[in-house]
Amino acid sequence: MSTGIPVLMYHALVAVPEPYMAPVHVAGEAFVQQMAWLAAEGYQAITLLELQQAVLLRRPLPEKAVALTFDDGYLSLIEQALPVLKPLGFMATLFLTTGAVGCPSYEQLPNFGASAPRHDRPLTWEEVRELQRAGWAIEAHSCAHLNHAQLSDLELEQEIVGSKSQIEYQVGTPVQFYAFPYGKYRAAALRSIQEVGYVAGFSVHPGLVRPGQDLRRLPRLEITAHTGLEEFQRKVTTGYGSTTEQYRSKARNLLFQSPRVKDFLQKGFTKYIN
């Protein structure tokens, strides 16, 4: 694991990304090309538990390993992602937003539903179990998809504990990983996921996963509608879409090395710009 492992982050797969959609939703055709490139290059999809054990226990991984994750829980994962991944032997993780499961749309989630694809919908619990039976891991992505940097301690507990409990009840397996909505967190959120038994948490910081990193906020590589195949290849191999992103990321990591310092600086900066 000397060069690090890319953890890729997807959301819904759509026919054509439209202006009203959040850019995180990727065209199905682009997704097919990206997975075909991974397979052609000899990448093997690993589980997050294998990733965590490699980081913490230095256990060996395939020479070319990648972790595939999908946020929220869209029907298009069954209709489009699963048929692409299964023939390639690629496993994946669903970070599930439990508050939308079984609903006709994401409209009931504040500041979120309007940018979700209108021709997609949240999965039902039976469909979530279908993905599980297909080999996907089901992990937590909060209840209501709220910004965890702005929540009170009680609200953080409700989101972090509530989603874990509901998924474990519905699918019958332990929930061990947490993905912060929007990649946002504060020190209390990091403490909370550790205290309630998650073995690792994920941000949306760019970069590859390497030993020695904070297991509560591991990096993930955001794949969006604007990610061309060349940029995708750079992200997988280096952890960054560009040299500029790499420099900015290293500066941010140095500045925010301490979660408490990060909270203090971001709070002060917010007051300054407002």
Query: 149-152: long-range contacts (C-beta < 8 A, 24 or more apart)?
Result: 149/184, 149/185, 149/186, 149/189, 149/266, 150/184, 151/189
Number of domains in the chain: 1
> What confidence score (pLDDT) does residue 274 get?
28
| 272 backbone dihedrals φ, ψ, rounded to 5° | -65, -45
Helices (H) and strands (E) in the chain, counts: 10, 10
Q: Is residue 15 part of a domain?
A: yes
Q: Is residue 26 part of a domain?
A: yes
Cross-strand bridge partners of residue 93: 69, 137
Q: Is residue 83 part of a domain?
A: yes
Q: Is residue 170 part of a domain?
A: yes
Give average pLDDT by consecutive 10-residue segment, the chain, 274 residues.
Answer: 87 96 97 98 97 85 96 98 98 97 91 89 98 98 96 97 98 98 95 96 95 93 98 97 86 67 57 33
> What confidence score (pLDDT) does residue 272 get?
32
Q: Is residue 145 part of a domain?
A: yes
Kindly report the number of other CB atoms within 10 A of residue 50's CB atom: 18
> What confidence score (pLDDT) does residue 40 get?
98
Amino acid sitting at position 159: E
CATH number at residue 17: 3.20.20.370
pTM for the model stands at 0.92
Amino acid sitting at position 134: A
Q: Is residue 130 part of a domain?
A: yes
Range of the domain at 143: 7-242
Residue that has been written with the tokens 């299964």 in this structure: 86
Q: How far apart are CA 67 and CA 117, in angstroms?
A: 24
Q: Is residue 119 part of a domain?
A: yes
* Bridge pairing between strands 221-222 and 7-10: parallel
